[in-house]
Each structure stands twice: as C-alpha cells, then as structure tokens.
C-alpha cells in the first residue's frame, strides 16, 4: 500500500506527492502507479484520470478533492450535449468566483494548502479542458463515445433515460414506465437520476436554455420517428410515471434500437435481450436417430416442433401462444415475445420440409448444408423473410450430434495406430490418423493440412495399412516425390505391396484397363504422378479404394 496526496506548489501548480502525504486512505501500489503516470502527463491529465478511471476508487481526501473539480467539469461537459461535428468539444462556461471560493473553503488538509486559491482552481479547470479537447481531437468517434471510453457512467450523464420495469402487483398493467435524466455522478461514483419533469423546472431560466435544448433534442428526434413517443410528449405523459400493459411494454422493447439511435438511454428488465429476445421457436432437428449407419449415404430423419429454451411446449402452451397474437405473453412464469404471423410462417415452412423429408428423406449432405446455413435446395431453402428465420432453430439430433462430436474430437476413441506400422506416431500425428480414418469411414473426403515436414506421409501410410481392402488405393504425388514415397513405404509399411505407375520406375503396362488390372493384381497401393493421371484414361477410370 502507498500513501499519495495532492500537492499545490508555490507557483500554483497542481501535482501529487508521496512526501508527507495524507495516509488516512492508502492506495494499492498498482493504483498509485496509475495515478502517478497520469499526473506525469500534466495536471489536466491527472485530474481527469481521477474522475474517470478512479471514479469509484476510495481515495485520500486530498485526491478526492482534486477528483471533485474534474467531476464538475465532466458534468458540465455532459450537460452541454453532443456537438454536431465529430472531434468537437462544446465551449463551457468556467465556474464563477462564488463557486470557486466555496470550493477553496472546502479543501481538506493538503500539502501547499496555503497556495490554493480561485486562480489555481480556474487554471486546473482550463488544463482539464485542454486535455479533453486534445484527446477528443484524436478520437475517431463522437464525444459520447469518448466519454464512454473514459468511464461508461459519464456517457449517461446529461441524457434522458427511459426506464421499463415489471410491476408484479398489477395483473392488467404489469409494467411501469418512467423517463428520467441523469443530473450527475455523485462523489461516490453513482449516477443520480431525477424525474424528467424536474429538468423542466431546473432549466427553466434563459441561462439554462442550451442545457434544456441538449436534453430534449433526442426526445424530439424520437417523436419524429415513433408516433407513440410523439403521443406521450403531446399528452405530457412523458413527464410522469405510467402503468403499462404488456402491449405497451412490447412496443418500447421493439423500438429500443430506434430510441438508442436517437440518443436516448433505455433501461429494460434483464430478461430482455434485444439481439436475442426470449421467444418460443419452431425447433427443427435433423438426424435424431441412426437408422442403420450414419455416413455420406445415410438418409436423415427430420422433425419439427414448438419449443421454449429447448424444451417442447405442451399442447395447452401451444394453444395459448398461438391464440396470443403479437406481443408479450406469460409462459412458464416468464415474459416471452410472441409474433403469431412469424411463428405461423416458420411453422408452415418447416412442416413443408418435414413432409418432403418423410416422402423422400433428407440426405446426409443436405442435412449438413442445412445445419451450416448454406442449403440451396429449393425444397429446403430458408424463406425469403429474414425475420422469420429468427423464430426457428435448427439443430442436430442425438445421432448426428454424436457424429459431429466425434468429428470435432477424432482421437477421443483412444485406439492405436495399426500394429503393422513400423513407426511411433506423435500425438498430433495420431490425431491426424484418427481424423482420416473417421472421415473415410463415413465415405467423406478429408484434408490433412499439417505444415511441411510434420509427417503427413506417415499418417497417410497408417491409414492405408488400416484400410487394406480388395481394391487398391491410389497415391498421386509430384514426380519429385516418387522416390520418397517408395522409401517411406518400405521403411514404415513393409507389408503393404505397392507399384509405381510411372514409366521411370516400372516396366509394367498401365495404358488400358486390362493391363492396369494385371499390374495391380495383389497390390495394396499404386503411386503415380499428376502428369500421368491427366494423360492416362485407365488410371482415371479405375475404381480405387482411396485416392
């Protein structure tokens, strides 16, 4: 812990000191280091740091006194409103002599207190202002964004906040609405909200006209875009607490993006997420059951139902939701958003897909493309209305999910490499071998993308040993690697019989199907080059086990 305090020099400069500092509140070394670095950039930077990064940090009285001056500056800046030009800072009136005199008299014991007067405080205010203007000029966003970056609490001050809360004591009007404005941040670092009607009284004089205008401009913008805000403003209801029905509450929740775009702060219950509202969904599951085996040739089952948070709805709940129309509905003790038209549209779409699946089935590839969101099949393509998509959820069923989990973790079965492999695979090579074996077992292609020199060849040789079949496999390589593959096979898999289908390495005939069949008799692996495979029709037409 470190003692640190505010210092006023004989020249009237504001700084900090650790000598004879006020030790009534000690600071953590990391906090003291932050403050010291900030004041190293000047009094304006240091005082601004105290009112932003250390806004809620318990400080010694002398540092809290310095923070109070910067807090008053930021409060005035917030009430001045957002300037039209990015990078601009409103011109602020400096505190009057009466205010500064009172601030001088309220100073706690600090080193250099005898040098503190209104001129020192006025100069400190100007240094804070200069620091803010320099930082805003370098900032790429708005003044509000800059303030939010300093401390999110300052983004709220001087702005109107619309509050929506639950009122559980009124069944017909279970929500409460109130508009407030944030007057300041208290010395304890808490935003102080007051009813919006209070602002009209506080800023009634001509001297406060600009502050009132800055406060009400966002409301005027919102009233021009949202008729219900205009109606509240016209009736004067915006300036009092209101009891709201679920329909009225849903109206606000639906318009949160517009309200925020107009510059209003919106506070809603924590169960509401504008990006993902709580909603029942048309839940679609693909591949719930493995009919015989699950591979590239499989036909996947397809089911459609209504769910909430992954749990199927009862028949009574379904009827309740579908009879609700649009808005907020109580479901299982929670408020959920319902849009009958969207639900009907999503339900009709996926039930049509389900009927098609029952008649012809969903192929493995079709199911995988659906899950990936890239299906272009006309009968399973998602509807044109993008909003309707948010009312449905697509998921892999139990059998398909088990397969996907295996694909993500191919080495989980722990099986060893083939005993005939005369090599010890490293852990990542073991995982690569399992990956190849799993995908080829599903009749899917695989891409092994290890960097050069990490042993892709030995992993493929392990696969060839594991999958020896009546039909040989084909390895296609650059001509420069023929000798390497020959030596690697002889070294790591001497039990694999192979031929090199290239004139430079073999006298065998590969020019037609009959010659190729004879050359491959009893062979497990054929190795050829890219040039040969493009020129030789027999190699291209042969039915290989793997390529």
What is the percent of the chain with per-residue pLDDT over 70, rounded to a whole number? 90
* pLDDT average, residue stretch 81-98: 86
Measured CA to CA in angstroms, residue 381 lies from 89, 304, 352, 370 at distances of 51, 15, 11, 8
Band the pLDDT of 379: cuts 50, 70, 90.
very low
Residue scoring higher pLDDT (150 or 513) = 150
Residue scoring higher pLDDT (531 or 340) = 531
Residue 148 to residue 53: CA distance in whole angstroms: 11
- Six token digits for residue 163: 């509050």
Measured CA to CA in angstroms, residue 98 lies from 65, 66, 114, 119 at distances of 17, 18, 19, 12
Band the pLDDT of 346: cuts 50, 70, 90.
confident
Summarize pLDDT for 102-136 with one digit per residue, the tens. Answer: 999 999 999 999 999 999 999 999 999 999 999 99
Radius of gyration of the chain (CA): 36
Q: What is the pTM of this model?
A: 0.64
Region for residue 287 given its phi and psi (left: phi exceeds 0; alpha: psi -120 to 50; beta: otherwise) = left
Answer yes or no: are the C-beta atoms of 417 and 459 closer than 8 Å. Answer: no
Summarize pLDDT for 478-496 with one digit per residue, the tens. Answer: 999 999 999 999 999 999 9
- Six token digits for residue 266: 């919106």
Facing residues of 528 across strands? 476
Summarize pLDDT for 42-51 with one digit per residue, the tens. Answer: 999 999 999 9
Residue 282 to residue 345: CA distance in whole angstroms: 10
Residue scoring higher pLDDT (317 or 322) = 317
Residue 56 to residue 357: CA distance in whole angstroms: 60
pLDDT value at residue 380: 42
pLDDT value at residue 489: 93
Over 90: is that where the pLDDT of 8 sits?
yes
3-class DSSP state of 503: coil
Give the range among 126-140, 264-278, 401-415 with minimum mean pLDDT.
Answer: 401-415
- Give the mean pLDDT of the chain: 85
What DSSP element (H or E) covers 160?
strand 160-166
* pLDDT average, residue stretch 400-405: 82
Residue scoring higher pLDDT (24 or 33) = 33
pLDDT value at residue 486: 92
Look at residues 397, 402, 398, 358 and name the one whose alpha carbon lies nearest to residue 379: 358
Place of tokens 């969904």: 281
Residue 155 to residue 55: CA distance in whole angstroms: 13
Residue 357 to residue 303: CA distance in whole angstroms: 9
Residues in the chain: 547
* pLDDT average, residue stretch 147-159: 89
Kindly give, in sequence order, each residue whose CB lies less than 8 Å from that of residue 59, ignoring residues fewer than 6 positions away. Answer: 25, 27, 50, 67
Band the pLDDT of 142: cuts 50, 70, 90.
confident
Residue scoring higher pLDDT (532 or 378) = 532
* pLDDT average, residue stretch 8-13: 94
Task: Tell me the CB-side half-sphere exposure of residue 342, using CA atoms within 13 A.
Answer: 17
Band the pLDDT of 292: cuts 50, 70, 90.
low
Band the pLDDT of 205: cuts 50, 70, 90.
low
- Six token digits for residue 477: 């390589």
Kindly give, in sequence order, each residue whose CB lies less than 8 Å from that of residue 429, ignoring residues fewer than 6 positions away. Answer: 454, 455, 458, 459, 462
Answer yes or no: are the C-beta atoms of 427 and 414 closer than 8 Å. Answer: no
Over 90: is that where the pLDDT of 38 sits?
yes
Summarize pLDDT for 216-256 with one digit per residue, the tens. Answer: 888 999 999 999 999 998 898 998 999 999 999 999 999 99
pLDDT value at residue 87: 80
């Amino acid at each position: 812990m470190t003692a640190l305090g505010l210092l006023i020099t004989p020249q009237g400069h504001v700084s900090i000191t650790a000598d004879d500092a006020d030790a009534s509140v000690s600071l953590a070394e990391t906090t003291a280091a932050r403050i010291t670095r900030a004041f190293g950039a000047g009094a304006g930077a240091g005082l601004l740091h105290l009112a932003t990064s250390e806004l809620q940090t318990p400080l010694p009285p002398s540092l809290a006194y310095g923070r109070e001056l910067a807090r008053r500056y930021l409060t005035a800046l917030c009430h001045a409103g957002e300037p039209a030009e990015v990078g601009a800072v409103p011109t602020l009136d400096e505190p009057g002599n009466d205010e500064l005199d009172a601030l001088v008299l309220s100073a706690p014991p600090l080193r250099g207190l005898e040098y503190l007067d209104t001129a020192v405080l006025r100069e400190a205010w100007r240094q804070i202002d200069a620091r803010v203007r320099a930082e805003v000029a370098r900032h790429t966003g708005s003044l509000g964004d800059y303030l939010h970056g300093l401390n999110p609490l300052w983004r709220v001050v001087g702005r109107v906040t619309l509050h929506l809360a639950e009122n559980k004591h009124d069944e017909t009007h279970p929500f409460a609405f109130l508009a407030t404005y944030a007057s300041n941040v208290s010395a304890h670092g808490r935003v102080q909200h007051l009813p919006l009607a209070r602002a009209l009284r506080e800023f009634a004089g001509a001297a406060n006209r600009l502050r009132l205008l800055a406060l009400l401009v966002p409301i005027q913008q919102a009233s021009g875009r949202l008729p219900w805000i205009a109606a509240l403003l016209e009736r004067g209801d915006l300036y009092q607490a209101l009891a709201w029905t679920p329909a009225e509450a849903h109206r606000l929740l639906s318009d949160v993006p517009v309200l925020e775009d107009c510059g209003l702060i919106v506070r809603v219950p924590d169960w509401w997420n504008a990006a993902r509202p709580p909603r029942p969904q048309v839940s679609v599951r693909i591949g719930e059951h493995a009919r015989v085996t699950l591979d590239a040739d499989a036909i996947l089952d397809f089911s459609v139902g209504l769910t909430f948070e992954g749990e199927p709805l009862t028949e009574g709940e379904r009827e309740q939701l579908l009879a609700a129309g649009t808005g907020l509905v109580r479901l299982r003790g929670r408020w959920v958003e319902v849009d009958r038209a969207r639900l009907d549209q999503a339900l009709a779409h996926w039930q049509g897909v389900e009927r098609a699946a029952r008649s012809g089935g969903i192929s493995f590839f079709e199911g995988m493309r659906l899950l990936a969101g890239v299906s272009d099949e006309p009968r399973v393509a998602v509807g044109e209305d993008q909003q309707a998509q948010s009312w449905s959820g697509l998921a892999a069923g139990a059998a398909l999910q088990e397969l996907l989990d295996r694909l993500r973790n191919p080495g989980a079965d722990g099986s060893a490499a083939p005993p005939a492999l005369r090599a010890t695979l490293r852990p990542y090579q073991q995982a690569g071998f399992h990956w190849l074996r799993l995908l080829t077992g599903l009749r899917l292609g695989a891409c092994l993308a290890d960097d050069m020199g990490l042993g892709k060849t030995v992993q493929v040789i392990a696969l060839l040993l594991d999958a020896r079949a009546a039909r040989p496999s084909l390895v296609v390589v650059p001509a420069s690697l023929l000798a390497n593959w020959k030596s690697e096979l002889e070294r790591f898999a001497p039990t694999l019989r192979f031929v090199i289908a290239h004139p430079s390495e073999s006298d065998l005939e590969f020019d037609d199907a009959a010659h190729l069949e004879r050359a491959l008799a009893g062979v497990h692996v054929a190795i050829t080059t890219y040039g040969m495979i493009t020129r030789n029709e027999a190699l291209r037409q042969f039915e290989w086990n793997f390529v």
